[in-house]
A and B are shown apart, each in its own frame.
Chain A
Amino acid sequence: MHQFLVLTTQGITSGMVYAALALALVLIWRSTRIVNFAQGAMAMFTTYIALWVIQTSGSYWLGFVVALASGLVAGAVVERLIIRRIASGPPLNPVIASLGILLFLEAVVPMIFGGQIRGFPPALSFFGFKVAGVDMPFSPFDLFTFAGVLATMALLYALFRFTGLGLQLRAAAFAPEVARLLGVRVGRMLTIGWALASMVGALAGVLVAPVTLLAPNSFDSVLVFAFTAAVLGGLDSPLGALIGGLSLGLALSYIGGYMSSDLETVGALLILIVLLMVRPQGFFAGTSHRRV
């Protein structure tokens, strides 16, 4: 029973991380109809920057803030320099370009920071709470991850729902031509959208690195999980990304705990395939349509 509880809290914690990275994919998909396969690699890059800051300054929170800020910058730069120039071409081209960014980052990061696997400090302790001498199945770190992702999502929701900028962002994604006619700077909105998405990705990186450890390719499987979570939720719905991430996190935690952790990626693949066969539009997508 205790193992079940531990696996459940672990599943929820990693599920929140998948949900954050899935949210990054969803935000970009909503605005540009592109799946950014470089999302994981960009998070890896910002996490390395955070680690460097933490080691030089000795302050975890400074590294945390720097990671989020560099995520913002990285997203904006990628959109401005690369994606904008090819987004209007065949849909295959942005996919290939994002894979190029993935390869490039995974090769350049070890050149800068060294290729060995690094540990990454958690924000708060890994050790479980003790209440009246009994081990609780969750730790301060689990709580921090849960609350951090939830707070970020709430802030983003508020931004999109209640501010003028959010309205413009939604308009630019939903109907670019009309929005442009009404005076929305659509290009700038796309840049902001990519920056926000990549900041959420950077958050996911900082939160998952203490668990997966930090190596140039250690977020490959996290990206696969996040993509699966996003598809579970319909690729179009931020709430779907949250629920998809949580359910995937739980499922993979049970697979890893009761069977073998090497099978987690294969498990995600099976879930993805079955899901796409049964319900390709996911569980939370609004309208289903396919461009022909």
Chain B
Amino acid sequence: MSRFTSSSTILRHLGWAVVAALAAGVVILFVDPYPDYQLAEVALFGIAAAGLTVLTGFNGQLSLGHGALMAIGAYTTALLLRQSPTVAVPLVMLASVAAAGLASVVVGAAAARLRGPYLAGATLALAVGLPGVAIRFSKVFGGDQGISVPPIETPSFLGADFPPERWLALVSMVALLLAFVFLANLTRSRFGRDFRAVRDDEIAAALAGIRVAGNQVSAFVVSGCCAGLAGSLLAFWAGLTAPSGLGLPLSLQVLAAVVIGGLGSLAGAVWGAVAVVYLPQLSSSLTEALHLPGVVKDNLPLALYGAAFVVTMLAFPQGIQGGLRLLYRKLWIAIPSRRDI
């Protein structure tokens, strides 16, 4: 296996992406619209979580403010479409990526001077504070009500009865795969090695000629661009951009995906996104089966996330992907593991 996968990194990643695209495409086309809608949510959380895992797992910077960067992406999409509804959707998404990228230059420049709890606190302040701006300047941002976002138009060659949820799922999945090919290549490149060197020992990295601050800012920008793309998809997915859905819980949801999936692994971001999307559904069917009141139903997912944070940290700090890796090694003990981060 390793003989024909290790020839060229980009070809290998593109090959995996094509395989994943075919598999995901088949699933998306054959399931009902509602599962499609959920798959779109998985894809957008996967993008955000992959971005955060590059920042936190590979570069060692914790951000609790990724929900705020997603909010910037979402509001860019909403505002752009309100101003000129005819702009092509890829352009809207690119604009959202650029806006979030610009914001992360600022946040990243501040973050590069901060360590550990200071960074966590500053980004926490960002996540808690940003929705207040949207409420304060309600003329522009629509206040508490938010701004409605039209769905992505389904191309006409697919026929009139092609469900919009399915088209959204396809678009989101393509965005996810593009982001993953980019991030997978980046983390295996010189940049990725520099990210890890800075994470492991800043002084040694600086002595080896890496510009630590610049490296940390670029990691933040890469990560913020992913958050912007995810935010744009979130706006289309929700059909609405409102402060109530973009506060601290969103940031913590993205962090939950990263932690549950396994910090520092791109595959883990997907497992984590699946967990974050399907956990609420699991808990709501549980509450319905047990006939629990609505307030329990609304809050059980968050309680489960919280418990999952604590349990993961106590028992499986490597998350799902760490568990899978362990399983893989136990089953194929003879095959030496090819790459470890």
Contacts and interface: CB of A to CB of B under 8 A. Distances in A.
Interface of A: 29, 34-35, 37, 82, 85-86, 89-97, 99-108, 110-111, 114-115, 217, 220-221, 223-224, 227-228, 231, 235, 260, 262-266, 268-269, 272-273, 276-277, 280, 290, 292
A228 B125 contact: yes
B48 to A, nearest CB: 16
B114 A265 contact: no
Given A273-B122, A276-B118, 16 more contacts: A35-B117, A92-B263, A95-B116, A96-B309, A99-B64, A99-B309, A103-B305, A107-B301, A111-B296, A217-B248, A221-B128, A263-B136, A265-B128, A268-B129, A280-B114, A292-B201
Contacts of A227: 121, 124-125
A107 B129 contact: no
A89 B308 contact: no
Contacts of A277: 110, 113
Contact of A272 (B122, B136, B306): B122
Interface centre among A34, A94, A231 (most CB of B within 10 A): A231
Given A37-B120, A231-B121, A96 B302 contact: no
A100 B129 contact: no
Contacts, number: 152
11 contacts: A29-B117, A82-B314, A92-B56, A92-B62, A93-B317, A100-B306, A102-B306, A104-B303, A107-B303, A221-B128, A265-B125
A269 B113 contact: no
Nearest to B133: A266
Nearest to A271: B125
Contacts of B130: 266
A111 B118 contact: no
Contact of A266 (B120, B121, B129, B299): B129
Interface residues of B, number: 51
Contact of A224 (B124, B203, B259): B124
Contacts of B263: 92
A89 B259 CA distance: 15
Given A99-B309, A231-B118, A86 B299 contact: no
Nearest to B305: A103
A97 B313 contact: yes
A95 B252 contact: no
Given A82-B310, A95-B117, A107-B306, A269 B122 contact: yes
A110 B120 CA distance: 26
Contacts of B249: 103
B79 interface: no
A94 to B, nearest CB: 8
Interface centre among A82, A107, A280 (most CB of B within 10 A): A107
Nearest to A34: B117
Contacts of B317: 89-90, 93
B313 A292 contact: no
A266 B124 CA distance: 11
A105 B120 contact: no
A292 B116 CA distance: 11
Contacts of B56: 92
Interface of B: 56, 62, 64, 110, 113-118, 120-122, 124-126, 128-130, 132-133, 135-136, 201-203, 248-249, 252, 255-256, 259, 263, 295-296, 298-303, 305-310, 312-314, 317
A106 B295 CA distance: 12
Contacts of B255: 96, 99
Nearest to A85: B314
A108 B299 contact: yes
Contacts of A290: 115
Contact of A292 (B114, B128, B202, B298): B202
B168 to A, nearest CB: 28
Contacts of B300: 107, 111
A260 B201 contact: no
Given A272-B121, A292-B203, A220 B128 contact: yes
Contacts of A276: 110, 113-114, 118, 122
A183 B117 CA distance: 31
Nearest to B62: A92
Contacts of A35: 117, 120-121
Contacts of B118: 231, 276, 280
A22 B306 CA distance: 23
